[in-house]
Structure 1
């Protein structure tokens, strides 16, 4: 099995982003149009946050806010954890699993290359992750 890095999975992505003063309504429309679950929030070319489906649900809808009246800066996940394109997919998946993320920004020289999503990850990596986690919990079950 050849091991992938996160850059290989996001290199063909069309990178879409919005500024921090864009509305949640704009973000939701863009996410729906592009069928994505997260949008990088970029200011002066730098990633300042990530707006996700969970942010929309938990920070906007559940609080009864009007998406058209709320700026992304008020409800985005600020300073998200990021990885470089050469980061192994196993490491990226581990970061996502340990932190409960479904989206992980991939940056090269502070520029957003794409967003690694759970649905981008090939099934055999999920199996490796499950086996690795089982081995961590019960070392006696680890393959020797």
Structure 2
């Protein structure tokens, strides 16, 4: 699977670890930055990531910032993005199963690295259930 990853300076350390984990699982990962812990404006990294998913250059996206809120809000400005703020494995799975999320937002300042890894792994391996959920997902876009 092709996975886009990015965020802001607060998510940089987790991003490095998630890239290693995902690549070791056989995924191709495109890093949209940032490339250090120096302060950045997260929209500069989120918009290109979201566009890559809209253009089918990547299958899924993982965004990491301090609270997860800013990156999720920014990604969700894109018509074809369904970004879910998650803070545990169950939410990451449900976001995919019921909402067909194509991006998750991880709050690095509020979850451990182990939880972030569990969420990322669950997100990329969980399937959308479709069925009754498909009709709801069809109604999300404006």
TM-score band by shorter chain is 0.3 to 0.5
Give TM-score scaled by structure 1 length.
Answer: 0.34
Larger relative contact order (Cα-Cα within 8 Å, sequence gap ≥ 6): 1
Give TM-score scaled by structure 2 length.
Answer: 0.34
Whichever of the two has the greater Rg, that structure is 1
